[in-house]
Amino acid sequence: MGISGENVLMVGVGGQGIILAGRIIGNAALKMGLEVKVSEIHGMAQRGGSVVTHVRFGRKVYSPTIEVGKADVILAFEKLEALRWLHYLRPGGTMIINDQEIYPLPVLIGKGEYPSDILENIQSKVSDTLALDALKIAVEAGNPKAANMVLLGALAAKLGFEQELWHEVIEQTVPPKTVETNIRAFDMGFERIKSPGACI
Amino acid sequence: MPKLLTGNEAVARGAYEAGVHFASAYPGTPSTEILENLAQYEEVDAQWSPNEKVALETALGACIGGARSIVSMKHVGLNVAADPLFTASYTGVNGGLVIVSADDPGMYSSQDEQDNRYYARFAKIPMLEPSDSQEAKDFTIFAFDLSEEYDTPVLLRLTTRISHGRSPVVLGERTERKVKDYSRNIEKYIVLPAHARRLHVEVENRMSRLRALAEKSPLNKVEMGDRELGIITCGAAYQYVKEACPNASILKLGFSYPVPHELIREFAKQVNRLIVVEELEPLLENEIRALGIKVEGKELFTRFGELSTEIVRKGLGMEDETSFKPEDNIPLRPPVLCPGCPHRGVFYQLNKLKAVVTGDIGCYTLGALPPLSSMDTCHCMGASIGTALGLEKARGKEFARKVVAVIGDSTFLHSGITGLMDVVYNKGTITVVILDNGITAMTGHQHHPGTGYTAKNESTSKVDLEEICRAVGVKRVVTVDCYDLERLGTVLKEEMSAEEPSVVIARRPCILWVRERERAFAVGESCIGCGACIGLGCPAISLLGTAAEINAQMCTGCGLCAQVCPTKAIVRL
Ligand SMILES: Cc1ncc(C[n+]2csc(CCOP(=O)(O)OP(=O)(O)O)c2C)c(N)n1
């Protein structure tokens, strides 16, 4: 891992703060002197739909999107979305999952079933699966809205840029009033992955 | 250090650096942020127009008045603006005029995936197609110079991946420009047939000169590699090609219309196999084939949706390693009306009344999906009202008692008023519901003439919807609160049964636009699990066990569920 280049696919549900998190990763990579492309989808997706952001960085990046089976890391903000996008992961890749369930409307109205064994299913296929309860950690950090920063912290621990650099980028990206909470949440996500065997 | 900008931010920055004076737009994904960003520059007079036609006409006027002007819209917006587009091509410009079309291959948030490169050919204007954000900025600056030098509007064509893709951009300084002199010139700006006949000849001459320019333009780049395979490409497709076959010879067309024929002939001679990789329609491919050059294209790559590295790879017969299989049977996650969305109650009642609903474009199009399931048609912005009248014309007055057109406030002002006029003028009796949430919600909350604020957030005069409806001749105009389900039901029933045209203005601000929340609701002991509340399709309510549940974090306190609950089990916390 590290600066040789990464494909990070971020998946989740509209409104979870994925676009902001994607921008932070992009800016961190840019600060490392790497070439970066981030691809977002706006519009319909924001109304509670399934959303995906592609982040690619390295010495040279052409395509703004990651190919199926070529993501080095999937950062899943929601469990069902982790499963939906699993085929984007490369063999041997890393899956970071927020252990949170957001039921889509078909499930809420009894027209579909939310799979009960997502985590086990993914763990059986992907040996490098890391799960954490980002919402709980964010609440501990002081704001449930900072769950995206917890997940970002978890990813950062995997990517290997300096923690300082991330702090700088977060400071430059989020609203001034929220910097402290966001950095705290980021650090807690970071530590959670760094300390061995600590997931969930 | 370069900055990570989206293509839209880069276009705005490019226009700013090029000294743009005036910018207009009507919102539409994926183009919206271009004007939003331009509105932040003090030096730029930026405005939301009521629709794309007016946006283009205003930019045209500004450019005739000597200002550098830019107008942006989504692909289907250019259909609305097509009329002035075609004659602007004849009259040409004074200050530079750049028209940005953001297309949406793959239809991430659009009703079709038309290929607007056709418009450059159809209207006979030059077209530039950037492949990343740096190019988006550079091409925008070049577009202004090109426009002034060749006396033509210039089409800058983006796609979703360019508009909403971030990549590094080196910023420059703004070059201030004087607004050019204006003087009357009726032979240029009045398209009387006698003038237009001469102007058409000039347009053809201009196209030849532009073609000669495109032949030598640095925006059209040859990257010679392995001569076995030569690929001609443009826009986002270039990136997929580079990724899939880094060693191939490539001709990248950034100045893609008029097509540089000689450049292509030269390139074709140097490679063994010539392939065109372009998203959507085979425009370049057909033109190259018409030159008598052997070329492959759409037999290898789909014309549906966007391209990708893997599609290019597969089309070229390269092996793909297998990885995880996509899972089957994963419940879909369609977009939904938000908790507290004011549109919900209207659709709930229309569903109960078994209305035949002609829909329109906006958040409320989601009212078509289960469980609200209350829409019959939806075509394009403004279509709901004309379609409703047409249904009445086909099926008579009896049927019209069930016909309701629903249209958002922004859409009504965009192109609904003319339809309403038609209903009155041609003696229709249908009912129109204006869903007035006080903002253009779908595209991310932009102001419009009915909000009382400009694109720069300055207060301004505000259109009175009730007065407009009365002024076109509607006698029955009723306003209701979207959160008052019972009154909504009564009013809808009454207006539908009236044998004359009526307008119901269902009013409540978009819940994402007003920040304040009422206290949430919760389900009490007396819930019998009947599922009445589930029929509202609110993502804050679930019924998984024997009783309903409300997610207090998501609930905004609109209270619709409490109103439909037969056992009064739902109460405010
Ligand atoms: C010609 C055209 N221009 C722009 C759009 C993009 N667009 C889709 S919905 C919408 C606005 C909807 O606003 P409104 O009617 O107020 O409904 P709301 O989303 O607020 O419910 C726009 C601008 C489009 N689809 N077609």
Contact between A48 and B534 using a beta-carbon 8 Å cutoff: no
Q: B3-215 with B521-572: one CATH topology?
A: no
Confidence of residue A2 (pLDDT cuts 50, 70, 90): very low
Q: Which residues contact B101 (CB under 8 A, 6 or more apart)?
A: B31, B73, B74, B75, B77, B78, B116, B119, B155, B156, B157, B158
The rounded distance, in Å, linking the Cα atoms of B93 and B124 is: 14
The pTM score is 0.97
Q: Which residues contact B163 (CB under 8 A, 6 or more apart)?
A: B6, B7, B8, B30, B31, B33, B34, B102
Is the pLDDT assigned to residue B356 strictly greater than 60? yes
- Closest Cα to residue A81, out of A172, A9, A4, A26? A9
Least CB–CB distance from B323: residue in A84, A91, A107: A91
ipTM reported for the complex, 2 dp = 0.94
For B128-141, write each residue's pLDDT tens digit: 999 999 999 999 99
- Average of pLDDT values for B197-221? 98
Ligand 1 atom nearest B79 alpha carbon: 1
Q: What is the pLDDT of residue B331?
A: 93
Class of domain B3-215: alpha beta
The rounded distance, in Å, linking the Cα atoms of B278 and B234 is: 6
Would you say A52 and A11 are in contact if contact means Cβ atoms under 8 Å apart?
yes
From chain B, the residues in CB contact with A62 under 8 A are 239-240, 242-243
Q: With the C-alpha atoms ordered B166, B172, B174, B180, is the resulting torsion angle positive or negative? A: negative
B523 touches chain A (CB under 8 A): no
Pairing of the two strands B127-128 and B549-550: unpaired
- Closest Cα to residue B157, out of B176, B131, B175? B131
Three-class secondary structure assignment of B33-65: HHHHHHCCCCCCEEEECCCHHHHHHHHHHHHHC
**Is domain B343-514 given the CATH code 3.40.630.10 in the classification?**
no
- Closest Cα to residue A32, out of B164, B168, B13, B137? B168
Percent of chain B with pLDDT over 70: 100
**Phi and psi for B357 in degrees, rounded to 5?**
-110, 120
Q: What is the pLDDT of residue B348?
A: 98
Q: What is the pLDDT of residue A46?
A: 65
Contact between A105 and B334 using a beta-carbon 8 Å cutoff: yes
Q: Where exactly are the structural domains of chain B?
A: 3-215, 220-315, 343-514, 521-572
For B240-251, write each residue's pLDDT tens digit: 999 999 999 999
Q: Which residues contact B205 (CB under 8 A, 6 or more apart)?
A: none
Q: Where exactly are the structural domains of chain A?
A: 5-194
Confidence of residue B473 (pLDDT cuts 50, 70, 90): very high
For residue A181, the number of C-alpha atoms closer than 13 Å in the C-beta half-sphere is: 17
Of all helices (H) and strands (E), which one includes residue B11?
Answer: helix B7-17
- For tokens 């403004």, name the residue: B382
Q: What is the pLDDT of residue A45?
A: 61
Would you say B296 and B277 are in contact if contact means Cβ atoms under 8 Å apart?
no
Least CB–CB distance from A49: residue in B164, B236, B334: B334
User: What is the third-level CATH fold of B521-572?
Assistant: Alpha-Beta Plaits (3.30.70)
The rounded distance, in Å, linking the Cα atoms of B387 and B383 is: 6
How far CA B536 is from CA of B111, B351, B480, B541, in Å, comes to 25, 10, 19, 9
Ligand 1 mean position, distance from CA B180 (Å): 35
Task: Catalogue the E-assigned strands of B201-271.
Answer: 220-223, 226-233, 248-253, 255-257
CATH superfamily, domain at A5-194: Pyruvate-ferredoxin oxidoreductase, PFOR, domain III (3.40.920.10)
B19 touches chain A (CB under 8 A): no
Q: What is the pLDDT of residue B125?
A: 98
Q: What residue type is A38 in one-letter code? A: V
**Is domain B220-315 given the CATH code 3.30.70.940 in the classification?**
no
SS3 B145: helix
The rounded distance, in Å, linking the Cα atoms of B15 and B137 is: 8
Of all helices (H) and strands (E), which one includes residue A105?
Answer: helix A105-108
